[in-house]
Amino acid sequence: MAGDKFAYVTFIRTTPEALWEALTKPEFTRKYWFGVVMDSEWKVGSPWKMLYPDGTITDKGEILEYDPPKRIVIRWQNEFRPELKEEGFSRCVIEIEPVANAVKLSITHMIDVENSKLITAVSGGWPKILSNLKSLLETGDVLLT
């Protein structure tokens, strides 16, 4: 595939079900995603969007695959930075796999644009968000605020 991608893997001491809930429930995403919530019916074909606390849409798209608690694929477009929005839709694959007393979380974010500004942006964002998520699930507190 021509284009650009970012991949990240982390291991979290939790269950697939608890991680799934943290990824899909607004009361959780608000805590580790710096106030941002996700809004979707979480069904294949349903709209998906991320919202700042003031209701501004940060990103939007569509649920392409939904297999709880194993896999979500989102058609994803940034809405708040024009230089990222003009690159069009990306694809984000979220995979959850139980490993011993933990869960392996893999995120692959890809786009059909070489040297993508979006991929550069998410390459800085995903590690912070996932560090917060891991900390929240393992300790009850986020790492970064």
Q: What is the tens place of the pLDDT at every residue in 123-135? A: 999 999 999 999 9
Q: Which of 18, 28, 32, 1 is closest to 125 using CA atoms?
A: 32
Tokens representing residue 104 in the block: 């392996």
The whole-number average pLDDT for the span 34-39 is: 95
| pLDDT on residue 2 | 80
Long-range contacts of the stretch 22-27 (C-beta < 8 A, 24+): 22/133, 22/136, 22/137, 23/72, 23/94, 23/133, 24/72
More confident position, 2 or 26:
26
CATH of domain 4-139: 3.30.530.20
H or E element that contains 145 = none
| pLDDT on residue 143 | 87
Residue 132, CA distances (Å) to 3, 55, 80, 129, 137 in order = 28, 22, 22, 5, 9
Instruction: Evaluate if residue 114 carries a pLDDT over 90.
Output: yes
The whole-number average pLDDT for the span 87-114 is: 97
- The structure's pTM equals 0.94
Tokens representing residue 114 in the block: 């070489």
| pLDDT on residue 87 | 98
| pLDDT on residue 145 | 82
